[in-house]
Amino acid sequence: MHAPATAGPLLSHHNKDARPIPSRERESMISRRDFLQAGAAASALLGAGGYGSLGRLAAQQKLSEAELLSFASTGNVTLIHVTDLHSQFMPLYFREPSINLGVGEVKGLVPHVTGNAFLDHYKIAAGSPLAYALTSEDFAALARNYGRMGGFDRIARVIKAIRAERGENRCLLLDGGDTWTNSWTSLQTKAQDVVEAMNLLRPDAMTGHWEFTLGAERVKEITEKLAFPFLAQNMRDTEFEDKVFEPMKMFEKGGVKVAVIGQAYPYTAIANPRWMFPTWAFGLREEEMQKQVNDARAAGAGLVVLLSHNGFDIDRKMASRVSGIDVILTAHTHDALPEVVQVGKTLLVATGSHGKFVSRLDLDVREGAVKGFKYRLIPIFSDAITPDAEMAALVKKHRAPYEAELGKVLAKTDGLLYRRGNFQGSLDDVFTDAMLEVRDAEIALSPGVRWGASLLPGQNITFEDITNASAMTYANCYRTTMKGEQLKAILEDIGDNIFNPDPYYQGGGDMVRVGGMGFTIDPGAASGSRVSSLTHLKTGKPIEAAREYRVAGWASINQNTEGPPIWDVVSQYLTAKKTISPRPLDAVKVVGP
């Protein structure tokens, strides 16, 4: 069940029985006095009901760094979590989903609550900084008030501040993966730029998913030189069933033995090109997970942490079936939740994506058990946080060779462009429209990946904006023919991957984006029966099962896919178009109870 919404004014979720341990006097970039002074103004971030006019004031006032970082320390171990950064060095706009449907037992539970329902659930005032950071409500207007979020240099500043305030001997920084790929510079450097940046952040461990799309050889080359372990208890070599990476690492923090178990994305070999890592097998491996937990306890672990890239609903189910896990740091599904979700004795932490947040979880661990905790999802408001000079210099160095290319203006948008959500987004329409026109197709298919920054009305669309939504190692834009029955089968297969009522059978992405075709979907229907009323939008006629259609798409997992890279296709389209005017997103109709 979900933990009750009892957070304090900064949405610091805590257990009242936690035993605070006073901070030692030490030099830090954020002084203790700054933290104490910030407490008085902290409620403005939330702007919650009960604070009267402070909700309106919060939408107007300037945020401060000390306010964002204020935290009354608790316990003896601090977990710092970052995940799904997707190699986004620079601050950006990123609109959270307006639709994030849950099915089966999780229907109506977080993270499947969005918009005003999300604000009501967590008692966050509309128009407040957290409303902007955590929902899609009034996104464009609030983005102009509060600015961009994220940036590696701001993340570095926050992490250094936590370590300085808390003490290195109590902190573990853990990276949930999807870190090395999906920007133009990471693609050009084979992730070397991001690897060096992460080395500067000094995580204690990481796991992965999109990292594997660099190919097995490059991943091995990187991981062999990392200053910290890459953990994945669920990966095996296909020939001898040997472990590919360390499954677990033991640390000592705050006088506690802390076991960190890594779980790479279990369906990598299905969702991504198998030929890129032909001798690696993945999977959930629940029994092996239980064994790892048992081994950790037998070795004296007082705290067991699962550093997971399963996706939130899979982790929620795993928490109910694998005993002995104290904390699961979730990833993959990009959910950002301002409170932990508690399943039995296990705490689930969801830190969002694209560098918008850093999670801090303070734990009071005694006698081999968690006696109390306090949590804070720290929003990285870029204008309020001073960039870390060392990280800023490294980022500048790596971006310098590509600055002119990245900054090339392709067009302008007069409406909000975004991708994230279960179904079509306005940025997705740009990609599918480009394929229809440039590749002379009747129907276009674009993957429902959850990465890609948003653009505000009136903003220039640059080459960087397009590559932030498409930079991958298998981006060729193919052109082929498919029968109508094949198109329906694709939609049904992906629909089952997303809306299967058993979380263990969910892939965690969003529905494939479609151009030139509309359809109706009932997410709660039985497998094979979710999709109906396929319509060819240009003619208004039903898609015929036996007829062949010219189809363009990209991100095929098949080896040797031919065609220009998708960023070239979209760039050509935008350059000719000059201005993008987003249209209503009504081609996909969602029905059902």
Percent of residues, the chain, with pLDDT higher than 70: 90
Q: What is the mean pLDDT of the chain?
A: 91
With both helix axes pointing from N to C terminus, report the angle between 389-399 and 192-201 in degrees, rounded to the nearest 10.
180
Alpha helix (H) ranges present in 170-311?
A: 184-189, 192-201, 216-223, 268-271, 286-298
Tokens at 422, concatenated: 């279960």
Residue 13's pLDDT is what? 53
Tokens at 218, concatenated: 């490059």
Tokens at 322, concatenated: 């694998």
Residue 593's pLDDT is what? 72
Amino acid identity for residue 62 in this structure: K
Render pLDDT for 205-236 as a digit per residue (tens, 0 to 9).
Answer: 999 999 999 999 999 999 999 999 999 999 99
- How far apart are the C-alpha atoms of 419 and 454, rounded to whole Å? 7
H/E segment holding residue 40: helix 32-41
Residue 577 CA: distances (Å) to CA of 428, 572, 582: 16, 9, 13
Q: Cβ contacts of residue 584 below 8 Å, gap of 6+?
A: none
Tokens at 245, concatenated: 């990476």
Burial of 529 per CB tally in 10 Å (0-12, 13-18, 19+): exposed
Do 13-395 and 407-590 agree at the fold level?
no
How many other CB atoms are there within 10 angstroms of residue 88's CB atom?
A: 25
Please check the confidence at residue 30 and state whether its pLDDT lies above 60: no
Please check the confidence at residue 42 and state whether its pLDDT lies above 90: no
Contact, 558 vs 467, CB < 8 A? no
Please check the confidence at residue 26 and state whether its pLDDT lies above 80: no
Residue 470's pLDDT is what? 98
Please check the confidence at residue 60 and state whether its pLDDT lies above 70: no
Cα atoms found within 13 Å of the Cα of residue 98, Cβ hemisphere only:
11
Kindly give the pairing relationship between strand 341-343 and strand 346-350: antiparallel
Render pLDDT for 247-279 as a digit per residue (tens, 0 to 9).
Answer: 999 999 999 999 999 999 999 999 999 999 999
Tokens at 331, concatenated: 């990833």
Q: Cβ contacts of residue 330 below 8 Å, gap of 6+?
A: 83, 176, 308, 310, 311, 312, 315, 348, 349, 350, 351
Render pLDDT for 160-206 as a digit per residue (tens, 0 to 9).
Answer: 999 999 999 999 999 999 999 999 999 999 999 999 999 999 999 99
How many other CB atoms are there within 10 angstroms of residue 549's CB atom?
A: 19
pTM score, whole prediction: 0.91
- How far apart are the C-alpha atoms of 17 and 14, rounded to whole Å? 9
Render pLDDT for 330-378 as a digit per residue (tens, 0 to 9).
Answer: 999 999 999 999 999 999 999 999 999 999 999 999 999 999 999 999 9
Q: Average pLDDT, stretch 283-300?
A: 98
Contact, 160 vs 66, CB < 8 A? no
Cα atoms found within 13 Å of the Cα of residue 582, Cβ hemisphere only:
23
Kindly give the pairing relationship between strand 327-330 and strand 346-350: parallel
Q: Which fold has domain 13-395?
A: Purple Acid Phosphatase; chain A, domain 2 (3.60.21)
Q: How many residues does the chain have?
A: 593
Render pLDDT for 398-456 as a digit per residue (tens, 0 to 9).
Answer: 999 999 999 999 999 999 999 999 999 999 999 999 999 999 999 999 999 999 999 99
With both helix axes pointing from N to C terminus, report the angle between 192-201 and 152-166 in degrees, rounded to the nearest 10.
20
Q: If we measure between CA atoms, which residue out of 191, 156, 207, 166 comes closest to residue 24?
A: 166
Please check the confidence at residue 515 and state whether its pLDDT lies above 60: yes
- What is the DSSP annotation of 107-144? TTSTTS--HHHHHHHHT--TTSHHHHHH--TTHHHHHH
Residue 46's pLDDT is what? 54
- How far apart are the C-alpha atoms of 303 and 326, rounded to whole Å? 6
Cis check for the bond before 523: say yes or no (omega within 30 of 0): no
Q: Average pLDDT, stretch 116-128?
A: 97
- Sketch the domain layout of the chain as residue ranges: 13-395, 407-590
Task: Give the CATH H-level superfamily of domain 407-590.
Answer: 5'-Nucleotidase, C-terminal domain (3.90.780.10)
Q: If we measure between CA atoms, which residue out of 226, 314, 292 comes closest to residue 497?
A: 314
- How far apart are the C-alpha atoms of 440 and 433, rounded to whole Å? 10
At 28, the pLDDT band (50, 70, 90 cuts) reads very low
Q: How far is C-alpha 170 from the geometric centre of its chain's CA atoms?
A: 26
Please check the confidence at residue 48 and state whether its pLDDT lies above 60: no
Q: Average pLDDT, stretch 2-15?
A: 39
